[in-house]
Structure 1
């Protein structure tokens, strides 16, 4: 028989009907999801699945984290469980690929950190996370523009070399203007967040294969918003870049509060594995 470990998705406030919510929900590796209560009569529970231990041992997991297809499949399953539960109760998402040796270790973690979890759940009740990304957009066909400028410069009586240098300066100036506009957009968004959001978290900008769409990602932030404030926040943030050329603002969400569910401190039984490199935010493209 394949050895199994307990994959933890989230800690949540136990409410009536959660078992029904999980019917038909497939977790990581297609495993069914179950709820482990904090204890007899406890208000907390953890959502877990039994997954093959061999896939989550340290060496195996390190290899898996280099496999974007595997990582995406796990992230989508992880996120799907959290979204299903988040529709009915407040959840504290666990870091992707957090596993414990068995259910007993998960239950011990719940008991040890019950007070801290309860405080965090009260703080997050009625709130969801929204992502804000700001991009510096590539200028349309800069090479062709540079060539045209060089030709124009030659026609103005400049040597080809001087005409080329003038064109390059013009391109750099345009790009610098776009970065200044992006900084202005970021300042506007942060001001909106201060007025409407209950929390603000900064994340590393996305690069390489993680970057979606055209342009350079220069801001990748998350905001915690009450359900009542979310619509106004989204509208105002999207309007913040309308008059700024070379800038694009994307707003994603709502998500469960991934960026605001602080992990328990070191007093609780630590997970048997939760890799530092695993992403701890919602995927940008929900399943």
Structure 2
């Protein structure tokens, strides 16, 4: 029987995943070794090759199950989320994995203990700077001047928005144990017409959560025109697990 592994936790006498079901509604078990516990559930022996993972409905099923188990377990204990579709062919191999990487896992768990991940995205709308002039230019020279003014206005608006994003990142860095800057997202992913100019993951101590959220609320109230801050969380520390 193969085992799908969702996350690693510190060893506990009681199963931290008790009552949780994972992929295909299989119960999540605790497989322990070297002072660590892997949260895993039985998985089909097929379906995790590259071709199968290109099948969107199956990939979505895996992603939903993976995130549901990690999110629920993270409410009970500190977890290190593993990469989606982490499969081992038997329990012995899971235990070997824990023993082989015990130092790395233990250090990462120490780093994220009593912390949560928060997502902060900054969006900027540049549409106002790109609107065409009310009147068509009279000649080629006028057209070029108009285009130059539009480009200058757009550049100014972009620079102002980026300055706001840099200030937000600096301030949040002071309230976070760690920051990870993700690649900004395309409008096709965000579902928004405005531009994502900053995509942060913040590792925030539980004891500093209120201060972090209060500062974010202040930043959102002081947004300049056309700049919006989106906050999500708390999440398990996906961006800070540091596990390959």
| TM-score of the two chains, using structure 1 as the length reference | 0.75
Once the two structures are superposed, the pairs formed by residues 96-245 of structure 1 within 5 Å of their partners are 96-139=84-127, 142=130, 145-146=131-132, 149-151=133-135, 159=138, 161=140, 164-207=143-186, 209-240=188-219, 242-245=222-225
The question of whether the paired residues in 1 share the 8 Å contact of 2:15 and 2:29 is answered with no
Identify the structure with the greater strand proportion: 2
TM-score, structure 2 normalization: 0.87
Give SS of 2:117's match: strand
Give the conservation status (yes or no) of the 8 Å contact 2:116–2:205. Answer: yes
Tell me what 1:59 maps to.
Answer: 51
Do residues 47 (structure 1) and 27 (structure 2) align?
no
1:141: how far off?
9.6
**Structure 1 residue ranges, 4+ long, deviating more than 6 angstroms after superposition:** none
CA RMSD of aligned residues (A): 2.5
2:31 to 29, 36, 61: 36
Deviation at 1:203, TM superposition (A): 1.4
For 1:209 and 1:29, the matched residues in 2 are separated by: 30
- Tell me which of 74, 77, 83 is aligned to 2:71: 83
What's 1:27 paired with? 22
For the 8 Å contact 1:36–1:48, the answer to whether it is kept is yes
Matches of 2:92 and 2:100, distance apart in 1: 12
| Paired position in structure 1 for 2:226 | 246
Name the count of aligned residue pairs: 243
On the 8 A contact 1:150/1:163 being kept in 2, the answer is no
Unmatched runs of 5 consecutive residues or more in structure 2: none
